[in-house]
Amino acid sequence: MSALAQTGRVTGGRASWAAQTAEVCRRWTVDLVRQPWGLGVSVIQPVIWIVLFGNVFESIATVPGFGPTDYLTFLVPGILMMTVLYSGAWAGTGFIEDIRSGVMDRLLSSPVSRSSLVAGQLAQQLLMATVQGVIVLGIGWLAGARYDGGVLGLVVALLASLLLAAAFCSMSAAVALLARDQTALIGISTIVVLPATFLSTALMPVALLPDWVETVARFNPLTWATEIARTAMSTDVDWGLVASRGALLTVLAAVVAAWSVSAMRTYQKSL
């Protein structure tokens, strides 16, 4: 096997950005599947939420001002968004692990596009969010929630959840690349995610929120995504609301994704 190094040149040209992104996505997907513990938790979590919140807050539906829907049907879109939010907040941990282990060094010293490292990981996160979303909707259905908006409504709801996931995964990735510390990432994620949940309409209709919470909730991406899903999954879809909140989420996701790519460059400059 002599002169292996000379005969082994494998690159004809250079891998396309799409091919690199796909390969990065594939790597993270294999990693995820080989950690059944993490995969299991991300599936069990929404089940617990639906059962827990569904029972604890069931009586809210009887409060005047709640509206005609039953609480579970009201709750499922909120749980859908919370699920991708909580998973997305952890997205950056993979980068921190790569930085710690030396994988990041190896990738950054090779001719791999920096943005494909970020985009490939995001693509894997969105794949996972889609699977989770379908599971949440399925569990909700089994528990008794009804989706009057039909298949189109479900697809719109899932797309909204993906926009929300893209924004939060990118935020987590950016924080991970800037802070480079698991504890910091967990701390920041918790500080952002928990208030975001309660300062939104995910669990509680707007009419029942205190005034100041209602004001904050109006600017909360979690509210935007939940509003899209709720109306799209109802009999009387407000397409204007879907379009306006969809536009807000799209802009947010794009801005945060750009931030995460720039964080990758900032990380390298700090070396």
Residues lying near other proteins in the complex (CB under 8 A) are found at 1-15, 19-20, 23-24, 26-27, 30-31, 34-35, 100-103, 105-112, 268-269, 271
CA 25-40-127 angle, to 5 degrees, is 25
How does DSSP classify residue 62?
A: G
Q: Minimum distance from CB of 105 to other proteins (Å)?
A: 4
* Nearer Cβ to other proteins (6/235): 6
How does DSSP classify residue 36?
A: H
CA–CA distances in Å: residue 203 to residues 56, 73, 206, 245, 249:
11, 11, 10, 18, 19
The answer to whether 80 touches 165, Cβ cutoff 8 Å, is no
Q: Minimum distance from CB of 38 to other proteins (Å)?
A: 11
Q: Minimum distance from CB of 107 to other proteins (Å)?
A: 8
Q: Minimum distance from CB of 30 to other proteins (Å)?
A: 6
The answer to whether 233 touches 150, Cβ cutoff 8 Å, is no
Alpha helices in the chain (DSSP H): 4-7, 17-33, 36-56, 71-88, 93-101, 103-108, 114-143, 150-179, 182-198, 211-218, 221-232, 239-270
Q: Minimum distance from CB of 173 to other proteins (Å)?
A: 17
